[in-house]
């Protein structure tokens, strides 16, 4: 989400990310854009991410939904995993909100 993006990414802004998506689409390249869940965000941030993608002028062709797998020694090693049903909810919302997109799952 726009609200949580800067907690994770420091090299560019959320607006920069949206501009990149528009530039990719404008160049005739198919768009793949989704997110990693379980990085300390709130449920509303997951919803906001999907709302942002669903409100693009054209839905991404591919929407990967990834679940963070915390790894020792990394900045998010202590991130509390989300409940599996929360992951399922994000996937379901993505499919409902962007029915023509390929929703892809990963960890």
Given its phi and psi angles, is residue 46 left (phi above 0), alpha (psi -120 to 50 degrees) or beta? alpha
Query: Which stretches of the chain drop beneath a pLDDT of 70?
Result: none
Identify which of 94, 82, 84 has the alpha carbon closest to the alpha carbon of residue 40.
82
Task: Return the pLDDT at 107.
Answer: 72
Task: Return the pLDDT at 75.
Answer: 95
In the chain, pLDDT over 70 holds for what percent of residues? 100
Identify which of 13, 16, 36 has the alpha carbon closest to the alpha carbon of residue 24.
16
- pLDDT digit string (tens) for 56-86? 999 999 999 999 999 999 999 999 999 999 9
Domains of the chain: 2-106 (3.30.750)
């Amino acid at each position: 989400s726009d609200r949580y993006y800067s907690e994770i990414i420091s090299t560019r802004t959320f607006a920069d990310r949206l501009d990149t998506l528009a530039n990719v689409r404008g160049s005739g390249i198919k768009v793949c854009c989704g997110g990693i869940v379980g990085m300390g965000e709130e449920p509303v941030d997951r919803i906001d991410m999907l709302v942002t993608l669903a409100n693009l002028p054209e839905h991404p062709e591919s929407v990967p939904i990834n679940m963070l797998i915390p790894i020792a020694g990394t900045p998010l090693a202590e991130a509390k995993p989300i409940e599996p049903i929360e992951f399922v909810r994000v996937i379901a919302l993505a499919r409902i909100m962007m029915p023509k997109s390929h929703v892809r799952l990963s960890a």
